[in-house]
Structure 1
Amino acid sequence: MVHPQEVDVIVAGGGPAGCVVAGRLAYADPNLKVMLIEGGVSNRDDPWVYRPGIFTRNMQRNGINDKATFYTDTVPSSHLRGRRSIVPCANILGGGSSINFQMYTRASASDWDDFNTEGWTAKDLLPLMKRLENYQKPTNSETHGYDGPIAISNGGQITALAHDFLRASHAVGVHFSDDVQDLETSHGAEIWAKYIDRHTGRRSDAATAYVHSVMDVQHNLFLRTNARVSRVIFEGNKAVGVAYVPSRNRVHAGEVRETIVKARKCVVLSSGTLGTPQILERSGVGSSGLLERLDINVVSNLPGVGEQYQDHYTTLSVFRVSNESSTVDDFLRGDKEVQKQLFHEWEVSPEKARLSSNVIDAGFKIRPTEQELKEMGPEFNELWDRYFKDKPDKPVMFGSIVSGAYADHSLLPPGKYMTMFQYLEYPASRGKIHIISANPYKEPFFDSGFMNNRADFAPIRWSYKKTREVARRMDAFRGELTSHHPHFHPASPAAARDIDIETAKQLLPDALTVGIHMGTWHRFDYSLMPRDS
């Protein structure tokens, strides 16, 4: 069917929000014509999407992966010693729900209450949260739903490293909870739930739940992929349609050629934190000074468009684990025999296969103690007093364990690994994004703003120490991979310690160089510290 040139509602952006809006509107009224426009490819029946254990492939920045777009700071950051931050964004129908880590995470109740808007409190929204869920884990909480389209489970398998992590977390004061996503818990560890259907083993994504399911039974939802919305068409101050272009400009000698689609009722912009501001500015909605410099007609002078970008940033630490540990390192580094084995498991019994898990099986949410707060400096304590102190449901950080190295394996020595993630939940730093041309193919000016507020330093440093304390108390721990840790003076008690000699000998039993001395910068940790130290 040829797509119509006029519909009732246009939804610009096929991420989770866009999929839900388009699918729900179309399903609610079969006579309503809805068009969903997405810049990336469709995720339908794509095994590189629906097999949970392959999510890392869609994070590759290799010039081939087209399922993600990578925004890089336009100028080096003085707050990062001249480095440029890289922010990956989904470029596929379903948005992040099609390629992300599949970690089931909810906001805290006070996050919703902070809106101070009628109808938007956590209590108001809980019925909607429950309605979307098909919760497949046992729980003592009444905050989950069981009949919705989005499956949530533990996945097909849980590694022994996850239980090792939970025991070690308990030892440092982060106790086990059967549900840290109950809107209230801010300090506890759990077997982390995943957006995975335990009955099929497949990723549970927004496009499958809300778009494909409607298009299978109705004919009023029109999907246009590989199309980038350039701008909203206004008549006066009323949005009456959009102009879109092919996602890649490979014809017509690079000339921008737009396709116009009209909307009888409304246009919904849902192109993400970084995409939506660019569409607004190209449409004439933004700072009049910027728009006039770019010769764009000003529809509405809104200087805040593109400002106050906020994102939780992640630090990762890679640790060595025992050679007996079950990890996905051989699969990720491309061992053909191991890959053949795991792919075969999936074909035979996907709901039980190792690929039916993201191997991010455990994690925690944490808040600092009074004693820890005293060590976190005045900048963070000011933020704590203003934002966290009277809201005990807000965690400061959350962390998780990956049973394998979430890293480029071409840069890693042989062995088995685990990775600790630490997410800053509520960063104080702010960035911005703005167009530099009306041409939708021109890269924007982007400043992530990461670490430009000193209040962010203390919690990241604190959580790194906390996760390292957990790792060192795990039975499987065999040292830090020092290349993937901060570098301290060798005499410092904070210095990372790499692989122990026995594990090294097991890895390379016939090698003639294990334990060779190469100077003071290189040394084995011949005797690991006791795990309770």
Structure 2
Amino acid sequence: MGHPEEVDVIVCGGGPAGSVVAGRLAYADPTLKVMLIEGGANNRDDPWVYRPGIYVRNMQRDGINDKATFYVDTQKSSHLRGRRSIVPCANILGGGSSINFQMYTRASASDWDDFKMEGWKADDLLPLMKRLENYQKPTNNDTHGYDGPIAISNGGQVQPVAQDFLRASHAIGVPFSDDIQDLKTAHGAEIWAKYINRHTGRRSDAATAYVHSVMDTQNNLFLRCNARVSRVLFDANNKAVGVTYVPSRNRANNADVVETIVKARKMVVLSSGTLGTPQILERSGVGNAELLNKLNIPVVSDVPGVGEEYQDHYTTLSIYRVSNETQTLDDFLRGDKDTQKELFAEWETSPEKARLSSNAIDAGFKIRPTEAELAEMGPEFNALWDRYFKDKPDKPVMFGSIVGGAYADHALLPPGKYVTMFQYLEYPASRGKIHVQSANPYVEPFFDSGFMNNKADFAPIRWSYKKTREVARRMDAFRGELASHHPRFHPDSPAAARDIDLQTAKELLPNGLTVGIHMGTWHSPSEAYDAAKVHEDIKYTAEDDQAIDDWIADHVETTWHSLGTCAMKPRAQGGVVDARLNVYGTQNLKCVDLSICPDNLGTNTYSSALLVGEKGADLVAEDLGLKLRFPHAPVPHAPVPIGKPATQLVR
């Protein structure tokens, strides 16, 4: 299909929010011409996208992966002991929904209420949350939807080690719940849901659900991939009338810029994400006038908040040995040819039941500290607790999850089987920024992730490391710790990680940790492991806590959950867009992505990006005098032939 030089609406960025806006608007009116411009490749029928269990490849920065762009801190950070953070950003149609971990969580009700903007309270957004979901899990609450385009399930299989995790979590005071994504539960554990259709075994990505489905049935949605939007074009009244884009290429390539112009008769929507949208605005003349003048970019609107207040979620991981009988993905990840052949064949035959129809992240929890734990977390975090968490009982402080396998380079690991414990900080107090350094779209921006630049963020990560460690030690499958993936405690400290080989672990814990304690089988001479006390909480000294903090600084990394930089709040308070997502000082220009978040959201952000997209689609439709329509679903849950795109009508 040819690409017109003029359309009605241009959507810049084909991530989750942009896919929703483009698909909803195009389907609403078949005479409305909508163009979606995406910097990455088309995701359609890409096996590296639709097979859930191979997502790990998309996380690698190896010169082969072209599905992500990697932003690196421009300067070394003293808060990370001289490191530079690396923040990947999806570079493919569907955005993060095409390559992410597929973990389904939702923000708490107070997260949306904290935006303090008309139309954005949780109660206002709940109908849209339901509208987008095709929820395939049993639940006892009424906050989920069952007729939407985005499938949510437990995936093809749930590893037995997930139940082991839930039992051990309960032993340390984290109760089991059948659904902690109910907008209010902040302390509980569950079988972790996934963005996987349990009837087809495929990833449920936004482009398949909202873009391909419309393009299969209508001819008014024009898709331009491998094109980077350079800037927005304005008329004399600051009304957006089009955009320019350039061919996507290596970010280090500073060749001559050759722009293509597309005109927009009615609206331009920026949906290039927290890291992309502020750069487009600044190159277009919307941003801090002082910066723009230095770069010789004509000022359209002086909006100093553009590119400021960058936020993310932070993660650390620790690895534990488990018994040889434990089902994990280690042999697959290690590259064992027979195992890989077996798993791929299993997926081709019965994808709805296959091990690759899962992300191996089958259980997790949300947690809040007790009063006793708060007392040990230090004055910086306690001040944050009193201001931010204390009166909002629906806000978890940390997430934790178990991965059935070692999330690491297996070439560097001893033989054996492992589980990985992830700790996720959901509401960092730290902030960063991103700004262009040239009007040339190929020139790298200035980027400061801001990771850990607020001391309050160390305490909750330190606390959650201890909590997940206690869970691991109480699991029946537990066979010791991989010391290389833990803090460097003093060797004589009771907190020191015990790096024992698999044979010793099997002799020491012949029937698993809990069984061994209950049956009184501890008679091995390896009492140095202190097996008699392994079911008691480890005691940490101030020196141990410092070792954990140093480990955090050395290893904390992004969760791909970038937010902020174009905040929805009053302009005088550093805002960039208003409650209807209009960019201050312009006309016919909206931002619809997670850059508009004025505060953090305690969730894996795919769900929030979809929700912002649904809200944005409503707002654009209202401005254009359109009524969104939601057709009846096609034959439900029809299996998709292998090798064919998993299309599903947007609804």
- Cα separation, partners in 2 of 1:390 and 1:347, compared to 1, 3 Å: same
Cα displacement (A) at 1:123: 1.1
| 2:212 is the counterpart of 1:209 | no
Q: CA deviation at 1:415?
A: 1.2
Corresponding residue number in structure 1 for 2:379: 378
| Residue pair 1:58, 1:67 contacting (<8 A) in 2 also | yes
Structure-1 residue corresponding to 2:535:
532
Q: Which has the higher contact order (CA 8 A, sep 6+)?
A: 2
2:11 partner SS: strand
Q: Distance in 1 between matches of 2:414 and 2:377?
A: 35
| Partners of 2:66 and 2:531 in 1: CA distance | 43
Measured in 1, the distance between the counterparts of 2:299 and 2:528 equals: 64
1:85 and 1:448 in contact (8 A); partners too: yes
2:467 alignment counterpart: 466
Q: Is the 8 A contact 2:15 2:93 kept in 1?
A: yes
Of 195-204 and 403-412, deviating more is: 403-412
Distance in 2 of aligned mates of 1:529 and 1:273: 50
Q: Secondary structure at the match of 1:140?
A: coil
Aligned length: 517
**Is contact 2:51–2:202 with CA below 8 Å preserved after alignment?**
yes
In the superposition, relative to structure 1, how do residues 160 and 4 fare at CA in structure 2: closer, same or farther (>3 Å)? same
Please give the alpha-carbon distance, in whole angstroms, between the structure 1 residues aligned to 2:88 and 2:527. Answer: 36
| Residue of structure 2 in register with 1:152 after alignment | 152
Q: Shift of the alpha carbon at 1:500?
A: 4.7
Contact 1:500 1:526 in 2 (8 A): no
Contact 2:50/2:202 (CA < 8 Å) preserved in 1? yes
Quote the Cα distance in structure 2 between the aligned partners of 1:503 and 1:264: 71
Query: Within 2, Cα distance between the matches of 1:493 and 1:448?
Result: 35
Residues of 2 paired with 1:19 and 1:75: CA distance? 34
Answer yes or no: is the 8 Å Cα contact 1:306–1:433 preserved in 2.
yes
1:336 aligns with 2:348: no
Aligned 8 A contact 2:186 2:396 in 1: yes
How does the TM-score come out when normalised to structure 2?
Answer: 0.78
TM-score by length of 1: 0.95
Q: CA deviation at 1:504?
A: 6.3
Question: How far apart are the structure 1 equivalents of 2:502 and 2:59?
Answer: 34
Q: How does 1:368-407 map to 2 (within 5 A)?
A: 368-407=369-408
Q: Which amino acid aligns with 2:421?
A: M
Q: Distance in 1 between matches of 2:275 and 2:528?
A: 45
Q: Which moved more, 1:33-42 or 1:230-239?
A: 230-239
Check whether the contact 1:9–1:34 (CA below 8 A) recurs between aligned residues.
yes
Which stretch shifts more, 116-125 or 399-408? 116-125
> Is 1:502 equivalent to 2:503 in the alignment?
yes
Counterpart residue identity of residue 245, structure 2 = Y
The letter of the residue matching 1:187 is H
In structure 2, the residue matched to 1:476 is: 477
Shift of 1:195: 0.5
Q: Deviations over 1:206-241 (max 9, x none)?
A: 000000000000000000000000111111311111
Distance in structure 2 (CA, Å) of the matches to 1:400 and 1:249: 35
How far off is 1:306 after superposition? Answer: 0.7
Cα deviations by residue, 1:151-176 (Å, 9 ceiling, x for unpaired): 00000101111010000000000010
Structure 1 CA distance for aligned equivalents of residues 355 and 29 of structure 2: 41
| Paired residues of 1:13 and 1:269 also in contact (CA < 8 A) | yes
Q: Which amino acid aligns with 1:35?
A: M
Q: CA deviation at 1:455?
A: 0.8
CA 524–11 in structure 1, closer or farther in 2 if over 3 Å, else same: farther
Say if 2:380 and 2:456, in contact at 8 Å, map to a contact too.
Answer: yes
* Inter-partner Cα distance in structure 2 for 1:31 and 1:496: 64
The CA distance in 1 between the partners of 2:502 and 2:532, in whole Å, is: 14
| Cα distance between partner residues in 1 of 2:534 and 2:346 | 36
CA–CA separation in structure 1 for the residues paired with 2:213 and 2:327: 37
State the shift of 1:532 in Å. 2.1
The answer (yes or no) to whether the contact 1:186–1:366 under 8 Å persists in 2 is yes
Secondary structure in structure 2 of the residue aligned to 1:423: strand
**Counterpart-to-counterpart distance in 2, 1:528 and 1:225:** 58
Counterpart AA for 2:434: I
Secondary structure (helix, strand or coil) at the match of 1:315 reads strand
Question: 2:18 aligned with 1:18, yes or no?
Answer: yes
**TM-superposed deviation, 1:410:** 2.0
Query: Following the alignment from structure 2 to structure 1, what is the Cα–Cα distance between the partners of residues 260 and 504?
Result: 61
Aligned partners of 1:450, 1:16: CA distance in 2, in Å?
25
Contact 2:52/2:358 (CA < 8 Å) preserved in 1?
A: yes
For 2:359, the equivalent position in structure 1 comes to 358
* 3-state SS, counterpart of residue 48 of structure 2: helix
Q: Which secondary structure does the structure 2 equivalent of 1:159 belong to? A: coil
Worse overlay, 173-182 or 491-500: 491-500
Could you tell me whether the CA contact under 8 Å between 1:499 and 1:525 is conserved in 2?
no
Distance 2:2 2:44 in 1: 20
- Counterpart of 1:136? 136
Q: Give the match for residue 244 of structure 2.
A: 243
- Distance in 2, matches of 1:502 and 1:367, equals 37
Check conservation: 2:437, 2:444, Cα contact below 8 A.
Answer: yes
- Partners of 1:353 and 1:46 in 2: CA distance: 18
How big is the shift at 1:502?
2.8
Distance 1:92 1:39 in 2: 7
- Seen in structure 2, the aligned counterparts of structure 1 residues 188 and 368 have a Cα distance that, compared at 3 Å, is same
Residue aligning to 2:260: 259
SS for the counterpart of 1:254 is coil
- Give secondary structure in 2 for the equivalent of 1:24: helix
Q: Is the 8 A contact 1:498 1:525 kept in 2?
A: no
Q: What is the SS of the residue equivalent to 1:118?
A: coil
Contact 2:13 2:273 in 1 (8 A): yes
Alpha-carbon offset, residue 302 of structure 1: 1.1
Distance between the aligned counterparts of 2:272 and 2:502, measured in 1? 51
2:110 aligned partner? 110
Q: Which secondary structure does the structure 2 equivalent of 1:446 belong to?
A: strand
Separation in structure 1 between the aligned mates of residue 415 and residue 72 of structure 2, nearest angstrom: 31
Task: Show structure 1 runs of 5+ residues with no match.
Answer: 507-522
Deviation at 1:503, TM superposition (A): 4.8
Q: Does the aligned pair in 1 maintain the 2:151–2:204 contact within 8 Å?
A: yes
Task: Using the TM superposition, give the Cα deviation of residue 118 of structure 1 relative to its aligned residue in structure 2, in angstroms.
Answer: 2.2
* Unpaired stretches in structure 2, ≥5 consecutive residues: 508-525, 537-651
Are the counterparts in 2 of residues 103 and 195 from structure 1 also a CA contact under 8 Å? Answer: yes
Q: Greater shift after overlay, 41-50 or 408-417?
A: 408-417
Tell me the residue number matched to 1:419. Answer: 420
Distance 1:140 1:503, change over 3 A: farther
Deviations along 1:118-150, one digit per CA (max 9) or x if unpaired, are 221111111110111111111111111111110
**Aligned match of 1:513:** none
- The residue number in structure 1 matching 2:307 is 306
AA paired with 2:380? Answer: E
Compared CA separation, residues 501 and 66, structure 1 to 2 (3 A) = closer
Aligned residue for 2:351, secondary structure, equals coil
- Which aligned segments of 4 or more residues in structure 1 are displaced greater than 6 angstroms? none
The secondary structure found in structure 2 opposite 1:290 is: helix
Q: Within 1, Cα distance between the matches of 2:52 and 2:527?
A: 36
Distance, in Å, in 1 between the alignment partners of 2:319 and 2:330 is: 12
Secondary structure, aligned partner of 2:18? helix
Deviation (angstroms), 1:57: 0.7
SS of the aligned residue for 2:310 comes to coil
Give the partner amino acid of 1:377: G
